[in-house]
Structure 1
Amino acid sequence: MIGAAGFMLAGPVQSASAKTVTVKSGDTVWQLATKYGVSMSQLEKSNHLKNGVIYAGQKLVLSSSKATTTNTTTTTTKTTTKKANAAAASVSSLSSTSTATASTYTVKSGDTLWKISKKYGVSLAQLKQWNGLKSDMIAVGQKLAVKKAAATSTAYSSATVTTTPKATKSATTTAKKATTKAATTSTTTKATTTKADAAATTSVASYAVSLVSKNIPYVWGGASLKGMDCSGLTQYVYAHTTGVSLPHNTVAQEKMVSKHSVGSAVPGDLLFWGASGATYHVGIYIGNNEYVNAPVPGENVQIATISKYFAPSFAGTVNG
């Protein structure tokens, strides 16, 4: 039908631009990825980062692309009004839709949501949303969706015909409406994702994990990004997430929790080493048998796995 009217359409053309952001004191790769709606793996790959190490003043490239612009090249020929109107109507209705199939991943021993999100370049909030998770808890053998099914559409604007201005105007208006709708949908999706990512920053476990990439050294009596000990870490995390003010002492922190067994711990709970009333170490449980802690002098804040060689004595849920 298009050939009969003498039209030739050029395919859609995409243009992309790269944006940069300057790292500020206290920033982490995880925080920047969450703030700008990109994945940690994208940031690390785009900027050749190793182990998520960044520094204040560093300029990072954010992978982003502008909305697709569809250009149409028109070759005008003389034809009858009837043929032109039919061709214009046909071109204005052209669209293509493709759907990406969601991928799944089976949880293995030692996996955490944080590890899986980093492996597949998605955020913790996205993994939770796609799998209906209300916490960071996952189980061995559980199947998780790691790629969201998405539909994309491309609408083609209609060709211009000198002999039928009415048909041309109608077809052009239809194309503009389709383009505007696509742009609105894209903006809404991005806003929803950003909001969901921002909500993840309030999670005690997620925030504790984000500190691991800051290379914070163990400092006796410390409770800041310059250095912290085990109870200083838990005090800092809770102050910056829930607003709960924990004392800077493991035994004193025991009095701020509802104690229970390690086996019933949930992400965000505190893990204590030592007898009740005489504990000597504390960490933050992040799920799947792992925790974040400031271990010993000479080492940084890190993620560790519960083992029989260094197992916590009990767990505790912080009382709000």
Structure 2
Amino acid sequence: MKNLVAMLATGIVLMSPTMSASALEYEVVKGDTLWEIAQEHDTSVESLLEINDLQSDMIFPKQKLEVYEKHLVEKGDTLYAISKKYGVRVEELKTWNELDSDLILVGQELEIREEQVEEVAATQAIKTTDSSTVTNKVEKPEGRTLTVVATAYTAECEGCSGITYTGINLNKDRNAKVIAVDPTVIPLGSKVYVEGYGYAIAGDIGGAIKGNRIDIHLPTEQEALNWGVKEVKVTIVE
């Protein structure tokens, strides 16, 4: 009896382990952006791009997106084995699924999201760069195009709130593609394509952003400094 209790406490069922996964789907509605969908489902744009094999940030109404994976627990599964399969931590699995212990049950569905640790963040930064590179190779989008002077900013600064003029919390998603604009030139809330940056939302303003100037958001101060000042083309997609 003591051995049985010990095994149950660690969530172990003595059978040959197998793995079964599915995904939570979301149907795109008019006006949706990947950033908004990522925020709603507590994930990131990079994860949505990777899971759905998207080559750009462009999405369309009625398009079905996989938001994050779900794992169906089978005989032989343990949190440790599942964490190894998906490259996450046991503690993350427990947090995402509101588990008080390592005990899991056959037939139970577990949400698999993203591990929020420093090493993974670094990997995601690399993926973001790769995604941006792919995005920049996408055929030029349709819409009104203008040439602007582009500088860069970051939420990673002393005294910065990280909240844009339209309420976007950049601290929650440092990889969010957002630009500050002059609303008389580019309307707030517009979806745009910025040469060398990719698809973004016109979600902020700035005292120095007047006329044909924009300020793009980047994850870190160093990346913002590396961007410098550039003349780029901006296409207002919608």
Of the two, which has the highest radius of gyration? 1
Indicate the structure whose relative CO is greater, using CA pairs within 8 Å and at least 6 residues apart: 2
Identify the structure with the greater strand proportion. Answer: 2
The structure richer in helix per residue is: 1
- The alignment's TM-score, normalised by the length of structure 2, stands at 0.42
